[in-house]
Structure 1
């Protein structure tokens, strides 16, 4: 029996190099389009029973389909498509799909793409699927939100927006962002990080995700709460910061906002910081990888004021100042020893 699904085939522009997986993709899409077709179900069963590889490939695709993150992301995109459909002129005669139908089509497409591309790319693909705005490594981007507030994304960052109705909500999916929020006492502005939530009415602050969420306030006032335990919260005044982790909130501390937020103007500024910490920060702007062989180098304290548009040049300069030897391998791998 052929590995290809019989009958009319879906768009063949996306094909998996493995013919069994490719056939499973065909069956899967057709089944989502016609879930009540008993004849299709019978033919699918015959195909699954004909070879153990068929059942394994189809099961893998079904597992991808059932991921809750995929359903949430698909529903978000379905609502966007509904909104775009409604924005069209009333005179335009176009097919009408309700959100449930859109969700099935979008989720099916997403599952097909992720299986075709490979499961190892799933986290990055899901991030792109959820994000409304994102930046690549070394890139920064600024834009205006629907309420007139402004946001600036730092390197390798992504956000998802929710401004439906009276909501003013942003989820920082990855990286770092600076917010300059338009005051609206009736509509609090909320930012969700990995572990904490920030609520403001009109202020300017940054949020950075990673091993913890770091919130820095430039002006105004913000309330920061740990999502798992809302009783754990802190109020920040200008020039203060707090970190939120699964363990709770750090003590509120003073911070030099000019240095910590210098990335907005394309600079990195540090004073007497361990080289390891500076390299970790620079690594967010460098597309390659930095490996320190001599662990002692990481403890050397360094100071500097550098442009971020040449991250490799900064790394080399700091290594030279620390007395390290630099070896660059293909693929952008830098070894310090």
Structure 2
């Protein structure tokens, strides 16, 4: 079967479902929900069939057996499972978890974090980097350059001021690069663009096509591979994630659900009927269950926990 290409959302969901199906707690009800997901869209079924073809092409290496064996090398968490799935996919030349997808990048990167984790890194030049949840970076310091590549996720960077350091520092993404000018800045990588917020100093962003923008403290700007968008005023508390907090100011409920999902293993679904409801408040990222359970206090919704890995924010229609 030729290498397939699916959207990042469908690829992640398919991988999550396969991981769930390997869990000893996977029930008949879970299997029914998996079937519902497969039937919800043609791409879902194609992605699932592709995973099954991966397993079939291993010529005697059973995917579950590989999981059970290889996971002993690490704590057998969902993150470990996805790492193994990435290895299995690469071994067969498949596309759903190819080398550019998040699970494989988390596995192969110089530094990475799992779901809900943060990690502080000190580089030889004095630069401090904090990785947010599900983030990965590579470091390449040579005699002439200092390059940090953000592969996936989000980082907070405070550039170092080591005496006599003359090598230029760059943070690189698939869309271009960021050159800090003595600064502290936040970078978040999405599928379509790189989003940069400057907390101190200035940075210069450059797209792959060479378009540039200067961003000053208190500003934010995004760039794609083809253009660097103008800077605008940054929202307050951009780096609140560093303190385990999420500040919502009139945020769409669906967007809030997507943000919380970054910090919680499994899936969070928000019903389309309530996706545009707006909410404001401060939510804890260290306890997403507490954050979810607080939603009915402000909105006509209720939270349904199918399993610990499957949460649905549903419309509340009364008793």
Same fold (TM over 0.5): yes
1:208 is aligned to: 188
- DSSP 3-state at the match of 2:256: helix
Rounded Cα–Cα distance in structure 2 between residues aligned with 1:282 and 1:194: 25
Counterparts in 2 of 1:213 and 1:124: CA distance versus 1, 3 Å: closer
Q: 1:160 aligns with which of 138, 149, 169?
A: 138
Higher normalized strand content (fraction of residues) = 2
2:270 aligned with 1:292: yes
Instruction: Find the aligned partners of 1:237 and 1:147 in 2 and give their Cα distance.
Output: 23
How many pairs are equivalent?
227
Shift of 1:156: 0.4
For residues 280 and 187 of structure 1, the distance between their equivalents in structure 2, rounded to whole angstroms, comes to 38
Q: Normalising by structure 2, what TM-score? A: 0.65
Query: Bigger radius of gyration, 1 or 2?
Result: 1
What is the root-mean-square deviation in Å for CA atoms of aligned residues? 2.6
Change (3 A) 1:129 1:334: closer
| Partner Cα separation in structure 2 for residue 173 and residue 142 of structure 1 | 16
Which residue of 1 is the match for residue 129 of structure 2?
A: 151
Match of 2:229 among 247, 250, 253: 250
Report the structure, 1 or 2, having the larger helix content: 1
Aligned-partner Cα distance in 2 for 1:305–1:331: 23
Please list every run of 5 or more consecutive structure 1 residues that lacks an aligned counterpart in the other structure: 1-55, 59-109
Correspondence list, 1:20-35, <5 A: none
Looking at structure 2, the residues matched to 144 and 57 of structure 1 have their Cα atoms a distance apart, in angstroms, of 40
* Structure 2 gap ranges (5+): 1-56, 60-85, 315-319
Where does residue 178 of structure 2 map in the other structure? 198
SS in 1 for 2:287: helix
Q: Deviations over 1:202-229 (max 9, x none)?
A: 21001100131100000111100111x1
CA contact (8 A) 2:144 2:168 kept: no
For 1:146, what is the secondary structure of its paired residue?
coil
1:237 to 203, 211, 216: 216
Q: TM-score, normalised by structure 1?
A: 0.62
Q: For residues 112 and 321 of structure 1, what CA distance do their matches in structure 2 show? A: 44
Deviates more, 1:213-222 or 1:114-123: 114-123
Matching residue of 1:316 = 293
Contact 2:126 2:161 in 1 (8 A): no
Contact map agreement 2:116 2:262 (CA 8 A) in 1: yes
Structural mapping, 1:66-105, within 5 Å: none
The structure showing larger relative contact order (alpha-carbon pairs under 8 Å, at least 6 residues apart) is 2
With over 3 angstroms needed to count, the CA separation of the structure-2 counterparts of 1:214 and 1:112, relative to structure 1, is closer
1:224 and 2:200 equivalent?
Answer: no
State how far apart, in whole Å, the 2-side matches of 1:307 and 1:57 are: 42
**Offset from partner CA, 1:22-47 (integer Å, 9 cap, x none):** xxxxxxxxxxxxxxxxxxxxxxxxxx
- 1:187–1:201: 8 Å Cα contact kept in structure 2? no
1:269-288 matches, cutoff 5 A: 269-288=247-266
Between stretches 190-199 and 248-257, larger displacement belongs to 248-257
Residues 115 and 134, structure 2, Cα contact 8 Å, conserved in 1: yes
Tell me, what secondary structure is at the counterpart of 1:139?
A: coil
Superposition deviation, residue 322 in structure 1: 1.6
Distance in 1 separating the partners of 2:116 and 2:173: 21
For residues 153-182 of structure 1, what are the alpha-carbon distances to aligned partners after superposition, in whole Å with 9 as ceiling and x for unaligned? Answer: 000000000012232110000000000001
Distance of 2:102 and 2:188 partners within structure 1: 18
CA distance in 2, matches of 1:296, 1:260: 29
- 1:267–1:306 CA contact under 8 A, matched in 2: yes
